[in-house]
């Protein structure tokens, strides 16, 4: 939808510089922009692209505003302003309420008249579907569940019985919320299944990426707090808790009963062990392995960087010998401490 630059400034809180009557209809990069596009500059590394862009308007930081004569939105956080502009120009269409003839809605379910239920979707007994909710084709929402206002469940999502998703959520295709956690007890060489009768409770403004799975609690609930952002193909084990405003990248695995604090960032393919806690404001680098509680905010990296294979084998061999080397060092320190003053200690066989 075409919109004037002055209206965008008003709706995003950015400062208008230049002709506010200029109209834009889409966002674009500096390189590919053409007439009618608004582009954005977030890094000084791309400053050279600003001069040659064919965009109609741009979004820049205050220190970059003098680098172009184009009409512009000036913001101290250009990327956040870009996100707001993109949502205005390319956001979801208005929800038109209605139930597709092929959908199966239990008579005891409460579905808001403004909700849109797609083909072959299923809504179970006593479930509550809020205002302007969109439920995609083939999605199943079980019994006694609840979906908050303005939430999107895309195609082929499964929300198990008694689970809840808060308002304004986005749940992408293939997500499974509330499957059983991996609870087993061993007896005489056989596994006994432990019933999983907790729930999954997802807060407001949460986005869950495609094919992510969130297990229900064994006894207590698995909880995803407000404004959490989960990427694709993440596994969240039973009884976990993820604090508000935390963002987790793709292919992360989180074992059961782990609590992750607020405002954390976890890089892709990180593996987080069970029954531990990560405090607020922690950054875990991609592919790191976390096997113990983290109680001090900061950035943590547990990944071993890639090396040429021959060199990696040498380093791995040295790492395997670290316990032996540490034991020898302790012995040397003890010998040095036991030696009388002024008497030189014996050299180790390997010393020169």
Q: Exposed, middle or buried, 188 (CB in 10 Å: 0-12/13-18/19+)?
A: exposed
List all residues 6 or more positions away from 290 whose beta carbon is below 8 Å from its beta carbon.
270, 271, 272, 273, 276, 278, 284, 300, 302
How does residue 337 score in pLDDT terms, banded at 50, 70 and 90? confident
Token pair for 121: 């979707």
* Lowest-confidence region among 120-124, 228-232, 288-292, 314-318: 314-318
How does residue 351 score in pLDDT terms, banded at 50, 70 and 90? very low
pLDDT at 334: 85
User: Mean pLDDT, to the nearest integer, of 199-213?
Assistant: 98
In the predicted model, is pLDDT for residue 335 greater than 90?
A: no
Active site residues: 238
* Lowest-confidence region among 144-153, 256-265, 333-342: 333-342
Secondary structure (3-state) at 254: strand
Q: What's the mean per-residue pLDDT of the chain?
A: 94
Nearest in space to 134 (alpha carbons), one of 109, 108, 154: 154
Alpha-carbon dihedral angle through residues 212, 213, 217, 220, given to the nearest 10 degrees: 10
Give the integer Cα–Cα distance in Å for 120 and 19.
50
User: Concatenated DSSP letters for 105-116?
Assistant: E-TT-EE-TT-E
User: Concatenated DSSP letters for 162-201?
Assistant: T-EE-TT-EE-TT-EEEEPP--EEEETTEEEEPP----EE
pLDDT at 350: 43
Instruction: For the chain, list the domains and their CATH numbers.
Output: 3-90 (3.40.1390.10), 98-300 (2.160.10.10), 309-333 (no CATH)
pLDDT > 70: percent of the chain: 96
Nearest in space to 138 (alpha carbons), one of 111, 176, 96: 176
How does residue 19 score in pLDDT terms, banded at 50, 70 and 90? very high
How does residue 342 score in pLDDT terms, banded at 50, 70 and 90? low
Q: What is the pLDDT of residues 70-100, one digit of tens each?
A: 999 999 999 999 999 999 999 888 889 999 9
In the predicted model, is pLDDT for residue 341 greater than 70?
A: no
Q: What is the pLDDT of residues 233-280, one digit of tens each?
A: 999 999 999 999 999 999 999 999 999 999 999 999 999 999 999 999
């Amino acid at each position: 939808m075409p919109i004037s630059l002055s209206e965008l400034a008003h709706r995003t809180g950015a400062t208008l510089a230049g002709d506010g009557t200029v109209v834009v209809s889409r966002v674009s990069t500096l390189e590919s922009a053409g007439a009618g596009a608004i582009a954005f500059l977030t890094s000084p590394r791309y400053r050279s692209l600003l001069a040659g862009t064919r965009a109609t308007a741009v979004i820049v930081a205050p220190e970059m505003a003098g680098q172009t004569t184009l009409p512009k939105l000036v913001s101290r956080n250009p990327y956040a302003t870009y996100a707001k502009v993109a949502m205005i120009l390319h956001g979801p269409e208005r929800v038109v309420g209605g139930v597709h003839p092929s959908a199966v809605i239990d008579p005891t379910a409460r579905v808001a008249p403004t909700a849109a239920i797609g083909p072959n979707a299923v809504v179970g007994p006593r479930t509550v579907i809020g205002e302007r909710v969109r439920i995609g084709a083939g999605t199943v929402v079980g019994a006694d569940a609840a979906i908050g206002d303005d939430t999107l469940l895309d195609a082929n999502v499964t929300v198990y019985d008694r689970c809840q998703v808060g308002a304004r959520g986005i749940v992408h295709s293939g997500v499974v919320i509330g499957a059983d956690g991996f609870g087993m007890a061993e007896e005489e060489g056989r596994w006994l299944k432990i019933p999983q009768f907790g729930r999954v409770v997802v807060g407001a403004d949460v986005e869950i990426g495609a094919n992510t799975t969130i297990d229900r609690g064994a006894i207590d609930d698995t909880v995803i707090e407000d404004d959490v952002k989960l990427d694709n193909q993440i596994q969240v084990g039973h009884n976990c808790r993820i604090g508000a405003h935390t963002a987790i990248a793709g292919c992360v695995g989180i074992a059961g009963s782990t609590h992750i604090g607020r405002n954390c960032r976890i890089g892709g393919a990180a593996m987080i062990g069970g029954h531990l806690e990560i405090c607020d404001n922690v950054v875990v680098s991609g592919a790191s392995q976390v096997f113990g509680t983290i109680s001090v905010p900061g950035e943590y990296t547990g990944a071993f960087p890639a090396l040429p294979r021959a060199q990696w084998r040498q380093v791995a061999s040295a790492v395997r010998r670290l316990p032996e080397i540490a034991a020898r060092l302790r012995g040397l320190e003890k010998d040095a401490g036991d030696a009388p003053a002024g008497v030189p200690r014996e050299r180790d066989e390997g010393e020169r």
